[in-house]
A and B are shown apart, each in its own frame.
Chain A
Amino acid sequence: MAMRDETRMLLESMTRLFEDKSTKQVIDRAETGEFAADLWQVVAETGVPLAALPESAGGADAEWSDLYAVLRVAGRYSVPLPLAETMLAGWVAASAGLELSDGPMTVGPVRGADRLTVVRDGNGWRLSGKASRLPYASHVDRTVLIADGPDGEMAVALEGTGGAELTAGKNIANEARDTLAFSGVRLSADAVGALGSGVSRGALYRRGALARAAMMSGALERAMDLAVSYAQERVQFGRPISKFQAVQQNLAVLAGQTAAAVAAANLGIEALGRVDAERETFLIAVAKTRVGEAATLACEIAHQVHGAIGFTKEYALQLSTRRLWSWREEFGSDPEWAARVGSYACANGADGLWEMLTAVT
């Protein structure tokens, strides 16, 4: 499918923006725990974080597939912002008619086992439970959560982290992953709303997994680019190491894994909103599984090609590989999603396997 002009222009402008503004210096500073507020400001000005929302909710009715393509570019440049989280928080909150923020937002739960509940309390609500390792929670203007309510799952929007007990944490890319505990925190009536159609905790988890898959496919492109460039510059035994067949063969594998990761992420992205929920789940599961597998193999090769320099803080490769090692575990690891793919296929039965693979809806 040829890329639409709109998509191409969006990706080109976001690539330029991230290339200019998401520099190693900016990322290094963000990794010390200081929020990249200036970078957030320029990203927010593009309107991308809330672009998927309807115009009535302050969005631009943008295609989700375009926004996921932006996430791939963000992953390529190790953008140290809750961009995917803000997009998804907006999606959940807007579906429930809750108030949004122009600032950075986080969303949860991001772990399948976490449970939050809201119960009525007079005119308002009380929120209890735990949301583990919410991305950037300590830095956001707003936290959007999905909790079990009296009539099923409800959306909850909190100012900041809204009275939660916050335990700071971070992933190995030094991105904040903070745990919020709520023990009967009192909320006003307008902080809670019924979820719109198609929005659920399961759907959030899937879209989060796909966001990580998209970001990882971008990070893999960067790791590959660095490895191929480095191999052509680094001279040993009197010639660039890219001239050695052993190195060439490794880089060919790296290129194959990267291409597969991008293709797999695209399978999930193209499915969004275009196929039924069951098929979407299957294709997102395929994406997170395959991208995770690629990440493991590709990080190993990218580092091997770089030798010792790639193991330093000063050199940029680690910005990508530490993110890949973090993101492959977030919103479900590749083995977890692989088990879903396998369970789905087995429940569907051996004789339905081929139809499952070739189905279009």
Chain B
Amino acid sequence: MATPMFRFDPVELPPEALVMRAEVREFIKDNAELMKFPRGDFNREFSRKMGKRGWIGLTWPKQYGGHERSAFERFVLIEEMLAAGAPLSAHYTGDRQSGPNILRFGTEEQKMFFCPKIAAGELTFCIGMSEPNSGSDVAGTRTRAVKVDGGYKINGSKLWTSNAHRADYAILFCKMGGGGYDETDRHAGATQFLLDLKLPGIEIRPVINLLGEHHFNEIFLTDVFVRDDRLLGREGNGWNQLTSELAFERSAPDRFLVLFQMLREMVRMAGPSPDKATAAALGKLIAQLATLRSMSLSIAGMLQDGLSPNNESAVVKDLGTRYEQDIPVVARQLFPTEPELEAVETYVSMIASSTMNAPRFSIQGGTREILRGIIARGLGLR
């Protein structure tokens, strides 16, 4: 057949991954009070605990604080934590994408400085990508860096930056100002910096989300001076680096487990012997989840083999977010209730939270439309 097919070869977890699963379950049991829906609160102490266990930077080289374990063990670790609602926020971005990107593009000094701290759960990263006028169109960034003596002067702003108010560093995406780049090439001059969020000239303002929570922020950068040694990779290579970073972000098994606890609660509501229609509605969701998990595991296999399954990751994220957005829809049909966030009944509060959280799933980390564009490109249509 002429059409490229996305391949998801079946993968079997190796024995060490099963050992990992047992250890993680024990750890979760010991920290049960920190597990929340859809996820635990930002918690540096929990991240340090995970760091002590050697569970951050699991697959990284030992010389940079990593543990040189397999992608399968990482898969199991992450899926167990996500399904339980563990508080991963303080290290997750660093573990998933900032650390790997530094390992790929950073200088020796940067790798030695940042990666062991991330792996210890001591350093929180956030993603300095989106801007007020640059969302899906990341290349449209208006933030500019200008070369000055000993470093760069950066001006601009970032928006929708999760955890910026409690993070230590951001990987900042911007463009070189002051000319010298081909204006017709939208990716020309793109550059990434390792931005210390305590530098003078940085102002961080909260953006409250529709649940009333403070996760998002707006970051304003006014003549921020960044030293030469905090340039990540090369000037002008930012677009390549960003593509790689997004591939790390999208290949994680975390696009279909945000609402797992809600699915579990629906099974509880159904009781041990539900009517056929209820069983079928739940069974359809469970079949979707089992399939997504197997596809995601297959991606872990490809990562383990050193491949870059970007198209496959886009497929899993697209299917995964659709599945997660269906969960509250099916829930309200099977077990109608008036949603209330602060309700004492677990299910009532979960349906409130999942209904309100659902829209973000197909926006964050690449909108549904962008992902389908990636898939279409993978099919050779663009």
Q: In the complex, are the beta carbons of B289 and A224 less than 8 A apart?
A: no
- A357 to B380 Cα, complex, angstroms: 35
Q: Which residue of the partner chain, among A2, A249, A259, A354, contacts B376 with CB atoms under 8 Å?
A: A249
- A249 to B85 Cα, complex, angstroms: 32
Q: In the complex, are the beta carbons of B287 and A256 less than 8 A apart?
A: no
Q: In the complex, are the beta carbons of A263 and B273 less than 8 A apart?
A: no
Closest to A259 in B: B6
Q: In the complex, are the beta carbons of A1 and B9 less than 8 A apart?
A: yes
- A118 to B85 Cα, complex, angstroms: 56
Contacts of B375 in A (CB 8 A): 252, 255-256
Kindly supply a per-residue 1/0 record for chain B positions 66-110, scoring 1 wherever the CB is within 8 Å of any chain A CB and 0 otherwise: 000000000000010001000000000000000000000000000
Closest to A264 in B: B291
With contact pairs A253-B372, A290-B288, A354-B264 given, residues A342 and B281 touching in the complex (Cβ less than 8 Å)? yes
Contacts of B369 in A (CB 8 A): 245, 249
Shortest Cβ distance from A265 into chain B, in angstroms? 10
In the assembled complex, A270 has its CB within 8 A of some CB on chain B = yes
Kindly supply a per-residue 1/0 record for chain A positions 219-243, scoring 1 wherever the CB is within 8 Å of any chain B CB and 0 otherwise: 0011011001101100000000011
- A76 to B279 Cα, complex, angstroms: 31
Contacts of B293 in A (CB 8 A): 357-358
Q: Which of A224, A245, A342 has the most CB of B within 10 A?
A: A342
Q: In the complex, are the beta carbons of B283 and A347 less than 8 A apart?
A: no
Shortest Cβ distance from A343 into chain B, in angstroms? 4
Contacts of B290 in A (CB 8 A): 264, 267, 283, 286, 290, 357
Q: In the complex, are the beta carbons of A343 and B273 less than 8 A apart?
A: yes
Stretch at the interface among B10-18, B155-163, B190-198, B214-222: B10-18
With contact pairs A231-B381, A251-B376, A341-B286 given, residues A346 and B274 touching in the complex (Cβ less than 8 Å)? yes
Q: In the complex, are the beta carbons of B286 and A342 less than 8 A apart?
A: yes
In the assembled complex, A337 has its CB within 8 A of some CB on chain B = yes
Contacts of A247 in B (CB 8 A): 381
Q: In the complex, are the beta carbons of A3 and B379 less than 8 A apart?
A: no
Q: Mostly helix, strand, loop or mixed at chain B's interface?
A: helix
In the assembled complex, A289 has its CB within 8 A of some CB on chain B = yes
Shortest Cβ distance from B302 into chain A, in angstroms? 12
Closest to B289 in A: A357
- A345 to B289 Cα, complex, angstroms: 13
Q: Which residue of the partner chain, among A228, A252, A263, A353, contacts B295 with CB atoms under 8 Å?
A: A263
Contacts of A342 in B (CB 8 A): 270, 274, 278-284, 286
Q: In the complex, are the beta carbons of A242 and B381 less than 8 A apart?
A: yes
Contacts of A225 in B (CB 8 A): 1-3
With contact pairs A266-B294, A286-B287 given, residues A248 and B381 touching in the complex (Cβ less than 8 Å)? yes
Shortest Cβ distance from B265 into chain A, in angstroms? 7
In the assembled complex, A26 has its CB within 8 A of some CB on chain B = no
Q: Which residue of the partner chain, among B9, B273, B284, B373, contacts A252 with CB atoms under 8 Å?
A: B373
Contacts of B376 in A (CB 8 A): 248-249, 251-252
Q: In the complex, are the beta carbons of A259 and B5 less than 8 A apart?
A: yes
- A43 to B16 Cα, complex, angstroms: 43
Q: In the complex, are the beta carbons of B271 and A346 less than 8 A apart?
A: yes
Shortest Cβ distance from A35 into chain B, in angstroms? 27
Q: In the complex, are the beta carbons of B379 and A252 less than 8 A apart?
A: yes
In the assembled complex, A351 has its CB within 8 A of some CB on chain B = yes
With contact pairs A252-B376, A267-B291, A354-B264 given, residues A341 and B283 touching in the complex (Cβ less than 8 Å)? yes
Contacts of B382 in A (CB 8 A): 243, 248
Contacts of A338 in B (CB 8 A): 279-281, 283-284, 287
With contact pairs A225-B3, A228-B379, A260-B295 given, residues A248 and B372 touching in the complex (Cβ less than 8 Å)? yes
Residues of chain A in range 316-358 having any CB-CB distance to chain B below 8 Å: 334-347, 349-351, 353-354, 357-358
Contacts of B5 in A (CB 8 A): 221, 224, 258-259, 262
Shortest Cβ distance from A279 into chain B, in angstroms? 11
Closest to A3 in B: B9
Q: Which residue of the partner chain, among A222, A252, A263, A341, contacts B294 with CB atoms under 8 Å?
A: A263
A-B contact pairs, 28 of them (CB 8 A): A1-B9, A3-B9, A76-B1, A225-B2, A247-B381, A248-B372, A248-B382, A252-B372, A252-B373, A252-B376, A255-B378, A259-B5, A259-B6, A270-B10, A286-B291, A289-B283, A290-B288, A335-B284, A338-B287, A339-B283, A340-B279, A340-B283, A341-B283, A341-B286, A342-B283, A347-B273, A350-B268, A358-B79
Across the A-B interface, give the 5 residue pairs with the lowest CB-CB distance, nearest first: A342-B283, A342-B279, A341-B283, A338-B283, A350-B268
11 additional contacts, CB 8 Å, given A342-B282, A346-B272?
A228-B381, A252-B318, A253-B372, A255-B315, A259-B315, A260-B319, A263-B298, A270-B12, A290-B290, A350-B265, A357-B289
Q: What is the interface of chain A, defined by CB distance below 8 A to chain B?
A: 1-3, 76, 221-222, 224-225, 228-229, 231-232, 242-243, 245, 247-249, 251-253, 255-256, 258-260, 262-264, 266-267, 269-270, 283, 285-286, 289-290, 293, 334-347, 349-351, 353-354, 357-358, 360
Q: What is the interface of chain B, defined by CB distance below 8 A to chain A?
A: 1-3, 5-6, 8-13, 18, 21, 79, 83, 260, 263-265, 267-268, 270-274, 276-284, 286-295, 298, 301, 312, 315, 318-319, 369, 371-373, 375-376, 378-382
